[in-house]
Amino acid sequence: MTRAEAYAPGRVELLGNHTDYNEGLVLGAAIDRGVRVAGELRDDGRVILQSTMMGEIDISSTDLAPQTAHTWANYPLGVLKELRAAGCAISGFSARIESDVPAGSGLSSSAAFEVATALFILKLVEERMPPLEIAKLCQRAEQRFVGVQSGLLDQVCSIFGRKDHVVYFDARSEEVRAIPFPDNLALIIAESGTKRELTSGFYNQRRAETQAAADALHVSALRDASFEMLASLSPLLHRRAAHIVGENERVARAVDLLSRGDGASFGALMNESHESSRTNFENSTGELDSLVEIARQLPGVLGARLTGGGFGGATVTLCEAAKADTIAPELQHRYAARSGHEPKIFVCRIAAGAG
Ligand code: GLA
């Protein structure tokens, strides 16, 4: 029986919030948590998915349609459908899924699940595909099967991540570059434990608003906008566009700072980024603001911001590496004392991507 196994990591976004679908610039990294998919081919046309966390489904692979009861299965099923559309001949398979990236945490369990599934199926049928094509195929699966009009950041980090390196991605030119992450710095991830209902609705709304701002400015994407151009926009579109223009500028500056090992200035940009999320893009929450505010008071912390789509999820804190193991429990303790719930906080290692 033909068997295969594949693993793909989650990611943390460091700067460049909601810039990817505006053809902008992003800095992210693959993390040391991910999704593993293992299983075997079937010749009876069934797709059987078993997840320790989510449950099990057994469906016919001839008529793949988005699931309403088991929405978690839409990630792998969407990937299967897109792979078939790309010419991959596979009828059915059984797969077991294990994950240590919590769903809805802002660490992109969805992209990890998609990428791991794509690599698993490609291995099963002994086919290959260029890594950027796999990233785009997974993005299409998410847009068409799950209904989130996401950009390419998550899949790119999950595939192109490199141990102890930050991934720089230019969503217009599709340039991907690995930049060394200074070894005297560390990242702490704090899950707020909240995920707002209708997150995908908020996400798609932001995407539509930024496109409306681009249309009003007569540019194809906000990548082409500058602060000076935004004056004519309505107050709401002005705020949304200012976030994107500011984030692109921050990423461009941060690349240089990282290369020089200037963690303090990099952290200051992360703080600015969160402030812009809070006031301009309005994709933060009270919980994320608290985590960021508490983190910034701790000695050794250089900056903190929300990571990923927002509207719940997690924050990322940049700190001096030598103090990370004392900062993480202190942040946990102070946040629990203030909010009443126990957040999950961990020092994150930058890991290799699936590619
Ligand atoms: C989610 C999306 C990404 C990106 C971020 C925000 O993670 O999947 O494509 O837009 O939000 O930067």
| Distance of CA 308 from the midpoint of ligand 1 (Å) | 5
Q: If pLDDT is split at 50, 70 and 90, which confidence band does 270 have?
A: very high
The percent of residues above 90 in pLDDT, for the chain, comes to 90
> pLDDT tens digit string along 74-125?
999 999 999 999 999 998 999 999 999 988 888 999 999 999 999 999 999 9
Instruction: Calculate the CA 268 to chain-centre distance.
Output: 22
Q: Other C-beta atoms within 10 Å of 56: how many?
A: 13
What is the DSSP code string of 95-135? EEEEE-S-TTSSS-HHHHHHHHHHHHHHHHTT----HHHHH
Residue 273 CB less than 6 A away from ligand 1: no
Q: Note the pLDDT of residue 91.
A: 87
For the full predicted model, state whether its pTM sits above 0.85: yes
pLDDT at residue 341 tops 90: no
Q: If pLDDT is split at 50, 70 and 90, which confidence band does 199 have?
A: low
What lies within 8 Å, CB to CB, of 328 at 6+ separation is 188, 345, 346, 347
Q: Note the pLDDT of residue 193.
A: 80
| Distance of CA 124 from the midpoint of ligand 1 (Å) | 29
Residue 84: what are its φ and ψ, rounded to 5°? -65, -45
| Contact indicator for 193, 224 with CB cutoff of 8 Å | no
Average pLDDT over residues 240-251: 98
Per annotation, catalytic residue among 58, 154, 183, 325:
154
Q: How far, in Å, CA of 127 to CA of 213, rounded?
A: 42
Q: Is 351 left (phi over 0), alpha (psi -120 to 50) or beta?
A: beta
Nearest ligand 1 atom, CA 18: 12
pLDDT at residue 195 tops 80: no
Residue 276 CB less than 6 A away from ligand 1: no
pLDDT at residue 198 tops 90: no
DSSP SS3 for 79: helix
Nearest ligand 1 atom, CA 142: 8
Q: Note the pLDDT of residue 312.
A: 92
Q: If pLDDT is split at 50, 70 and 90, which confidence band does 320 have?
A: very high
Instruction: Dig out the tokens for 308 from the structure.
Output: 């990923």
Residue 309 CB less than 6 A away from ligand 1: yes
| Distance of CA 151 from the midpoint of ligand 1 (Å) | 6
pLDDT at residue 292 tops 60: yes
What integer best gives the mean pLDDT of the chain?
A: 95
Q: What's the N-to-C CA distance of the chain in angstroms?
A: 25
| 8-22, 26-40, 228-242, 337-351: least confident range | 337-351
Q: If pLDDT is split at 50, 70 and 90, which confidence band does 37 have?
A: very high
Q: Note the pLDDT of residue 53.
A: 87
pLDDT at residue 128 tops 90: yes
Task: Select from 146, 153, 311 the residue to mutate for testing ligand 1; criterion: most ligand atoms less than 8 Å from CB.
Answer: 153
pLDDT at residue 39 tops 70: yes
Going by alpha carbons, the residue nearest to atom 11 of ligand 1 is 309
Q: DSSP label at 20?
A: G
Q: Note the pLDDT of residue 104.
A: 80
Nearest ligand 1 atom, CA 152: 9
DSSP SS3 for 188: strand
Nearest ligand 1 atom, CA 153: 9
DSSP SS3 for 63: coil
Average pLDDT over residues 266-286: 98
Residue 199 CB less than 6 A away from ligand 1: no
Residue 313 CB less than 6 A away from ligand 1: no
What is the dihedral sign for C-alpha 330, 334, 340, 341? negative
| Distance of CA 307 from the midpoint of ligand 1 (Å) | 9
Q: Note the pLDDT of residue 6.
A: 98
| Contact indicator for 136, 154 with CB cutoff of 8 Å | no
Active-site residue flag, 154: yes
Going by alpha carbons, the residue nearest to atom 9 of ligand 1 is 151
pLDDT at residue 63 tops 90: no
Going by alpha carbons, the residue nearest to atom 10 of ligand 1 is 18
> pLDDT tens digit string along 132-184?
999 999 999 999 998 889 999 999 999 999 999 999 999 999 999 999 999 99
Q: If pLDDT is split at 50, 70 and 90, which confidence band does 342 have?
A: confident
Q: DSSP label at 298?
A: S
Q: Note the pLDDT of residue 197.
A: 53
| Distance of CA 62 from the midpoint of ligand 1 (Å) | 31
